[in-house]
Amino acid sequence: MLAVVLALLVGIGAWTAVASGGPVAVHQENRFLSFPEAPGSSATVQIDTSFFTTGNPTVRRPAVLLAHGFGGSKDDMRSEAQDLARDGYAVLTWSARGFGRSTGRIGLNDPTAEVADVSGLIDWLATRPEVRLDAPGDPRVGIAGASYGGAVALLAAAYDKRVDAIAPEITYWDLADALFPNGVFKKLWSGIFFSTGSTSGTTGPAGTTTGSTAAGTGTAATDGTGAAGGCGRFTPELCAMYQRVAVAGKPDPAARALLEARSPSAVGNRIRIPTLLLQGQTDSLFPLDQADRAAQTVRANGAPVSVDWIAGGHDGGNPETARVEARTEAWFGHYLKGDSGVDTGPAFRVSRTGGIDTTTATVTLTGATSSRYPGLDGTASREVPLTGAAQTFANPAGAGPPAISALPGLGALGQLSGLGGGLSPALDFPGQNARFDSAPLSSDLRVTGSASVRIRVSADTDEAVLFAKLYDVSPNGQQTLPAQLVTPFRVTGARAGAEVEVRLPAIDADIQAGHRLRLVLASTDLGYASPTAPAEYTVALAGPPLSVPVDPQLSTVPAPLPWWVWGLPLLAALLAAALLLTGRRRVPTLPTGPAARTDQADRQPTPDPIGPMSPQDQLIPLRISGLTKRYHGAADRYAVRDLSFRVEAGQVLGLLGPNGAGKTTTLRMLMGLIRPDSGEIQVFGQVVRPGSDVLARVGAFVEGPGFLPHLSGRANLDLYWRATGRRAEQAHTAEALAIADLGEAVERPVRTYSQGMRQRLAIAQAMLGLPDLLILDEPLNGLDPPQIREMREVIVGYAATGRTVIVSSHLLAEVEQTCTHLVVMDHGRLAQAGPVAEITGSGDTLVVGTADPVSDTLLDKVAALPGVEAAERTDSGLLIRLDGTSADRLLVELVRLDIPVTSLGPHRRLEDAFLTLIGGTAR
């Protein structure tokens, strides 16, 4: 906001446009053009110009002149010029006399100087091969510009018949009226205006420089052509006029005449071309009534006119640059290019503030449009009675401290004030004003135009200067001044009392129901010069109520939201649906019919070695066929390959294999954690998929325990069971906890447990609900010997109930002691499957320890015993293979032979078998 203020103070009307870098290269030619300093004069001024075109230079196209604002130069217009050039126009920008690098003096759009220069520029355009001509020497040309540049557009339209369309923006119709409204000197804006012209000089081709940058100090120009003190590059007559009025504090007729003669209003009846008037709503320099008079005049001449009350203005910045440029382009597209398909927009449009978008720190704007411009009186009016007795107040000596309404550049704050109320800089000093309030409004009131009221003024002086403003007063008493605007007026013959019709500032403002309107008449205002002699004024309402213009025909078009606000969620929903529908990976299941099994047999030499397929699949706890899995990133290495085996009810199956044999991967697939690449796992006749219902009949302990460390052992089991969604009485938590045997530790958080405790708790969790198929992966790791034995008995006992247990282990002895059947895996393949005894051989070889070495004779006798297949001597005794007898009977026979038996035990051959199996597979 401060930046806006600074920008406006530094360069009034420096109405910069935002560049939108297009892909098309714009050709720019800079040159100085010489024009006579005055008509018929031999002295010349050098005007700095830039000519922008795109594409083929021999294609003739309409031309647009872009005029800069006061204090600016042609450089301000570059980006807008480039945009228009890309849009197919030949665009000429120039620095007006006294600005930028152009020479000459500022004549405030003197018809014989600045306006004549424009005719010279049009002459030059007519010589260009790029420019379309309506007639020889008459190019198709439009003029756009803001503020000072807007006025030159109006003036050129009046003075040069070759101009075909104009789009002046925030400019004046009658400069005298703008600077001396109702005979009151607008001192603050005028001061800024003149000091800017005095100090804005830059180095020109003639070596022109002006020194000071301090506004208002008016340094003497070191311009070679010389200038009066404090007036910089202004022409002497303008300089003298300003100094005279500023000292007097009130305009004189000569000053009025001088400014009026240079205003568009002087030649308004000559403007007969399409005119787009864009006027700012927060503009205390050139308020809306300036555009209103322009619109009425040009319309009366019969030319098409559109009026657009834009947001901002000289006080409020330009929040609508893009829209303004687009509308200007559309205007020229219709009237210069002759493209009747281009919509020039509504006859009347008002930008309205919706509020502030705090994210982008911008004011949200909506537009209200109407097909008819109603002027400042609206299409209807609403009478609002004001109350209040006659009030007497002072005009302070020295006219200070002044009341504050608009501050140049602070209009943006005023916009904020319209929303919240508090930042309104409007300030009235007690005792220096009269106020008249309405009753709270019964309904919302949208003021569009200029309200009016009749008052009676008397004073103890002949002349009184008053400032009228219309406040919006909220129920809690907070008052805001819409657009920060005020109407100054001078009352002559006030000593006798005078009745005055006061036209309040033209605004577009929404007064909410419940709010009051307050008419304030103050004796001072910061922006204006008022009498310095002390005086007393008395003001009373005269007759009719306040007449407020409204325009119900204006229909508000909400600011369109970008398409993506609605479109993006829809697109996202579609994308999400696509992601979910396409992501469903097809599980490759092998057909289980006999034909398929034959096919399978070709690839797998030992399919389903445990037994033939049973028709009663539902009774088979586990059947794995053709199971294959490769992990990502290991394309050439199979974790499990063509694995097939089956487990019958009541079996305790040992799953054996060295590290990396694929045991855990198989168990994970069995639990539905990993999807097989091919093949399938059936549990009780149902194919296992992630989350299969049949998994409820499987209890598993795989690759270590997994508990919530912050919860106790009991809570873990409890919550785990509740997570399965099954009934609590099916859980058998007490039995499971008995197996875990944790004692009081069961109430402690699991994070305090030892490895063995967690292990036991995990096995207990696997047994919750007494699953029909229990899978235990290395269940004895981390247990001490007594616990190992206990666990072994648990496992055997569990299988004895007819349920099935799968134990994966690398403790061969444990497997041999616990399991009834074995599956040996190596490198992801099945190495062997079958009953333990089948794999370990007969399993009936006994090791007999003897106190003394056994003699050959005895050895022969032993070998000859019935039921003994062979006997051989070892280091510490005998190794006897039985064939039909049992260990106890053998012991009796051995004792009978007087062999000093110290021990008798089975010979563990699993290790041998295992090593043979995995050694025998291809590596």
Partner 1 sequence: MSAEQPVTTEPAAAQPAPAQPGPTRTAACRALPLRVEAVRQLRRRRTMAMAALVVALPLIILLAFQVGGSPGGERNQVTFLSVTTGSGLNFAATCLFLSAGFFLLVPVALFFGDTVASEASWSSLRYLLAAPVPRSRLLVSKLGVAALFSTVATVVVPVVALAAGTAVYGWGPLQLPTGGSIPAGTAVQRLLIAVGFVLVSQLVTAALAFWLSTVTDAPLGAVGGALGLTILGNILGQISALGSIRDFLPSYWAYSWVDALQPQPQWDGMLKGTSLSLSGALVLTALAFRHFRAKDVVS
Name residues contacting partner 1, limited to 336-355 (CB under 8 A): 354-355
C-beta of 600 vs 628, nearer to partner 1: 628
Name residues contacting partner 1, limited to 839-898 (CB under 8 A): none
C-beta of 53 vs 417, nearer to partner 1: 417
Choices 31-39, 40-48, 237-245, 470-478 (CB under 8 A): range interacting with partner 1: 470-478
Residue listed under structure tokens 């409890």 = 718
User: CA distances (Å), 166 to each of 16, 91, 128, 155, 666, in order?
Assistant: 18, 14, 21, 10, 83
Token representation of residue 473:
């007063």
Residue 448 makes contact with partner 1 by CB under 8 A:
no
Instruction: Give the residue from 167, 35, 62, 80 showing the smallest Cα distance to 125.
Output: 62
Minimum distance between the CB of residue 839 and partner 1, rounded to whole angstroms? Answer: 22
Minimum distance between the CB of residue 51 and partner 1, rounded to whole angstroms? Answer: 29
Helices (H), 768-823: 785-800, 812-818
Contact 452, 503 (CB under 8 A): yes
Contact 808, 667 (CB under 8 A): yes
Whole-number Å distance between alpha carbons of 608 and 681: 12
Residue listed under structure tokens 């045991």 = 663
C-beta of 106 vs 311, nearer to partner 1: 311
Instruction: Give the residue from 841, 836, 916, 825 showing the smallest Cα distance to 879.
Output: 841
Give the total of residues touching partner 1 (CB under 8 A): 101
Minimum distance between the CB of residue 39 and partner 1, rounded to whole angstroms? Answer: 48
Contact 547, 451 (CB under 8 A): yes
Choices 109-117, 153-161, 437-445, 714-722 (CB under 8 A): range interacting with partner 1: 714-722
Whole-number Å distance between alpha carbons of 836 and 844: 12
Name residues contacting partner 1, limited to 175-204 (CB under 8 A): none
Residue 360 makes contact with partner 1 by CB under 8 A:
yes
Residue 700 makes contact with partner 1 by CB under 8 A:
yes
C-beta of 476 vs 857, nearer to partner 1: 476
Binding marks (x or -) toward partner 1, 739..778, rule CB under 8 A? x-------------------------x-x-xx-x------
> Contact with partner 1 (CB under 8 A): which of 240, 649, 847, 859?
649
Minimum distance between the CB of residue 654 and partner 1, rounded to whole angstroms? Answer: 17
Residue 478 makes contact with partner 1 by CB under 8 A:
yes
C-beta of 712 vs 832, nearer to partner 1: 712
Contact 167, 308 (CB under 8 A): no
Instruction: Give the residue from 325, 53, 71 showing the smallest Cα distance to 215.
Output: 71
* Burial status of residue 619 (CB atoms within 10 A of its CB: 0-12, 13-18, 19 or more): exposed
Binding marks (x or -) toward partner 1, 534..563, rule CB under 8 A? -------------------------x-xx-
> Contact with partner 1 (CB under 8 A): which of 29, 134, 703, 860?
703
Name the pairing type of β-strands 163-169 and 275-280.
Answer: parallel
> Contact with partner 1 (CB under 8 A): which of 327, 334, 641, 697?
697
Contact 541, 453 (CB under 8 A): yes
User: CA distances (Å), 602 to each of 222, 316, 642, in order?
Assistant: 106, 87, 11
Minimum distance between the CB of residue 849 and partner 1, rounded to whole angstroms? Answer: 27
Whole-number Å distance between alpha carbons of 183 and 207: 40
Contact 647, 640 (CB under 8 A): no
Minimum distance between the CB of residue 649 and partner 1, rounded to whole angstroms? Answer: 4
C-beta of 513 vs 559, nearer to partner 1: 559
Minimum distance between the CB of residue 634 and partner 1, rounded to whole angstroms? Answer: 12
Left, alpha or beta for 459 (phi > 0: left; psi -120 to 50: alpha)? beta
* Residue 567: Cβ within 10 Å count: 10
Name residues contacting partner 1, limited to 653-682 (CB under 8 A): 668, 671-675
Whole-number Å distance between alpha carbons of 313 and 189: 13
> Contact with partner 1 (CB under 8 A): which of 182, 321, 474, 916?
474
C-beta of 136 vs 560, nearer to partner 1: 560
> Contact with partner 1 (CB under 8 A): which of 476, 636, 864, 922?
476
C-beta of 212 vs 686, nearer to partner 1: 686
C-beta of 481 vs 917, nearer to partner 1: 481
Residue 358 makes contact with partner 1 by CB under 8 A:
yes
Binding marks (x or -) toward partner 1, 559..588, rule CB under 8 A? x-xx-xxx-xx-xxx-xxx-xx--xxx---
Backbone angles phi, psi at 835, to 5 degrees: -60, 150
Let me know how many helices (H) and strands (E) the chain has, helices first. Answer: 23, 39
Token representation of residue 702:
């795989």
Instruction: Give the residue from 850, 845, 856 showing the smallest Cα distance to 901.
Output: 850
Residue 248 makes contact with partner 1 by CB under 8 A:
no
C-beta of 664 vs 832, nearer to partner 1: 664
Choices 194-202, 289-297, 377-385, 716-724 (CB under 8 A): range interacting with partner 1: 716-724
Binding marks (x or -) toward partner 1, 591..620, rule CB under 8 A? ---------------------------xx-
Minimum distance between the CB of residue 64 and partner 1, rounded to whole angstroms? Answer: 26
C-beta of 404 vs 767, nearer to partner 1: 767
Residue 779 makes contact with partner 1 by CB under 8 A:
no
Whole-number Å distance between alpha carbons of 280 and 147: 10
Residue listed under structure tokens 């930028």 = 100
Choices 34-42, 298-306, 484-492, 692-700 (CB under 8 A): range interacting with partner 1: 692-700
Name residues contacting partner 1, limited to 623-642 (CB under 8 A): 631-632
Backbone angles phi, psi at 377, to 5 degrees: -95, 0
Token representation of residue 845:
């070889």
On the CB side of 198, CA atoms within 13 Å amount to 26
Name residues contacting partner 1, limited to 403-432 (CB under 8 A): 416-417, 419-424
Minimum distance between the CB of residue 572 and partner 1, rounded to whole angstroms? Answer: 4
Instruction: Give the residue from 83, 137, 150 showing the smallest Cα distance to 290.
Output: 150
Minimum distance between the CB of residue 749 and partner 1, rounded to whole angstroms? Answer: 9
> Contact with partner 1 (CB under 8 A): which of 29, 339, 343, 357?
357
Residue 21 makes contact with partner 1 by CB under 8 A:
no
Instruction: Give the residue from 346, 350, 147, 375 showing the smallest Cα distance to 264.
Output: 147
Choices 21-29, 115-123, 786-794, 864-872 (CB under 8 A): range interacting with partner 1: 786-794
> Contact with partner 1 (CB under 8 A): which of 394, 696, 788, 863?
696
Name residues contacting partner 1, limited to 794-833 (CB under 8 A): 794, 796-798, 800-803
Strand boundaries in 542-674, DSSP class E: 546-550, 555-557, 622-629, 640-647, 652-656
Minimum distance between the CB of residue 139 and partner 1, rounded to whole angstroms? Answer: 36
660 contact partners, CB below 8 Å, separation of at least 6: 827
Minimum distance between the CB of residue 359 and partner 1, rounded to whole angstroms? Answer: 5
Instruction: Tell me the sheet residues that pair with 48.
Output: 32
> Contact with partner 1 (CB under 8 A): which of 437, 536, 599, 790?
790
Q: What DSSP string runs through 122-176?
A: HHHHHT-TTB-EEETTEE-EEEEEETHHHHHHHHHHHH-TTEEEEEEES--S-HH
Minimum distance between the CB of residue 730 and partner 1, rounded to whole angstroms? Answer: 5
Residue 793 makes contact with partner 1 by CB under 8 A:
yes
149 contact partners, CB below 8 Å, separation of at least 6: 13, 15, 66, 67, 68, 69, 96, 168, 169, 171
Residue 326 makes contact with partner 1 by CB under 8 A:
no
Name residues contacting partner 1, limited to 143-172 (CB under 8 A): none
